[in-house]
């Protein structure tokens, strides 16, 4: 391999690196934005409950967290919670 071919190969690798870096940075920023949206939605709904207030706490042995897919906003909500959309 002469010097010209070597430089060409190195430049190709550099272009590949830049392209990969740009697409990965774009993906990271999209995922961060998505995560931010989920976090915000969770903050809005985590303390909401349609259940009446109780004088005495009543614990449950049911460890299953039930979710349902909302027909209004197409997201998952905890069972028995309202959609705010």
Give the pair of three-digit tokens for residue 1: 């391999």
Helix%, strand%, coil% for the chain, nearest 5: 50, 5, 40
The only residue of 73, 76, 80, 82 in contact with Zn ion, by rule CB under 5 A: 73
Closest CB to Zn ion among residues 29, 85 = 85
Q: Please give the residues from 16 up to 55 whose contact with Zn ion meets the rule CB under 5 A.
A: none
Q: Which stretch binds Zn ion (CB under 5 A): 16-24, 30-38, 44-52, 64-72?
A: 64-72
Stretch that binds Zn ion, among 17-25, 29-37, 47-55, 69-77 (CB under 5 A): 69-77
The one segment of 13-21, 23-31, 37-45, 73-81 that binds Zn ion by CB under 5 A: 73-81
Please provide the size of the chain in residues: 85
23 φψ region: left (φ > 0), alpha (ψ -120 to 50), beta (else): alpha
Tell me the C-alpha distance between 8 and 3, whole Å. Answer: 9
Residues that bind Zn ion (CB under 5 A): 70, 72-73, 83, 85
């Amino acid at each position: 391999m002469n010097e010209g071919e070597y430089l060409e190969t190195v430049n190709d690798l550099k272009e590949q690196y830049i392209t990969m870096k740009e697409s990965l940075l774009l993906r990271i920023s999209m995922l961060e934005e998505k995560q931010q949206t989920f976090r915000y939605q969770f903050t809005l709904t985590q303390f909401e409950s349609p259940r009446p207030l109780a004088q005495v706490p009543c614990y449950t042995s049911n460890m299953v967290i039930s979710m349902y897919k909302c027909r209004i906003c197409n997201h998952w909500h905890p069972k028995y919670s309202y959609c705010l959309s």
